A and B are shown apart, each in its own frame.
Chain A
Amino acid sequence: GAVVSQHPSWVICKSGTSVKIECRSLDFQATTMFWYRQFPKQSLMLMATSNEGSKATYEQGVEKDKFLINHASLTLSTLTVTSAHPEDSSFYICSAAGNVGDRDPYEQYFGPGTRLTVT
């Protein structure tokens, strides 16, 4: 299957600072990347969908100015949590989907997740 990496795997930051999380598709070109957030003992909730070269589409209730998403290439998307606060502490998971070669275009391949703790 396809491999998706995330970096960092965990990060601790102080309240008010910004944190950038990277999501990379290592062996295929991802035309679409998704960002999910998972609070403890809860399900994954879609935050936004990003297509390469265009602006991300955010789900209702997700602040686009706080969660900046950039999908500048077919292998990299970044999520920047700006002015992070303790309530932003969560597990952030990205996924990638492609329409290249024999990849099923709807199939999402998940990264290992990034655990963010804001103190």
Chain B
Amino acid sequence: AQKVTQAQTEISVVEKEDVTLDCVYETRDTTYYLFWYKQPPSGELVFLIRRNSFDEQNEISGRYSWNFQKSTSSFNFTITASQVVDSAVYFCALFEGSNYKLTFGKGTLLTVNP
């Protein structure tokens, strides 16, 4: 079983639409961290957010928001009023302290059309 599942391989929206990227994770650790990264065509990973397993408070940063639910092992990412510049591949990742490794999901390619 995959530790990090991003079921949506590709999403295409029109500018100004809201879009949610799903992430489901699996771990036996009680202490872990979840991340979202953006990878534009240039390839460089851009850090978006980090959440630890003890902090289920949702977070909003501008047009970005994250919904962390331990009960469903999900850490979903929503972009409000999407823009063309949001077009990129988005990766969800899980860090487990038991093995000190960061495991990435397969990524979701988001295309925002004008």
Q: Which A residues form the contact surface with B (CB < 8 A)?
A: 1, 32, 34, 38, 42-46, 49, 91, 93, 95, 106-108, 110, 112-113, 115
Interface of A is mostly: strand
The closest CB in chain B to the CB of A97 belongs to B100
**CA A2 – CA B42 in complex, angstroms?**
20
Counting chain B CB atoms within 10 Å of each CB, the highest count among A44, A49, A95 belongs to A44
Q: A49: which B residues are within 8 A, CB to CB?
A: 100-101
Q: Which B residues form the contact surface with A (CB < 8 A)?
A: 33, 37, 42-45, 47, 50, 91, 95, 97, 100-107
B61 to chain A, nearest CB (A): 15
Contact residue among A46, A95, A108, A112 (Cβ-Cβ distance under 8 Å from B43): A112
Q: B47: which A residues are within 8 A, CB to CB?
A: 1, 110
Known A-B contacts A43-B107, A106-B95, A106-B97; the reply to A113 vs B43 at CB < 8 A is yes
Contact residue among B43, B102, B103 (Cβ-Cβ distance under 8 Å from A91): B43
**CA A59 – CA B47 in complex, angstroms?**
24
**CA A43 – CA B107 in complex, angstroms?**
6
B29 to chain A, nearest CB (A): 12
Closest CB pairs A-B (n = 4): A112-B44, A110-B45, A113-B43, A43-B104
B103 to chain A, nearest CB (A): 8
**CA A95 – CA B101 in complex, angstroms?**
12
The closest CB in chain A to the CB of B43 belongs to A113
Q: B50: which A residues are within 8 A, CB to CB?
A: 107
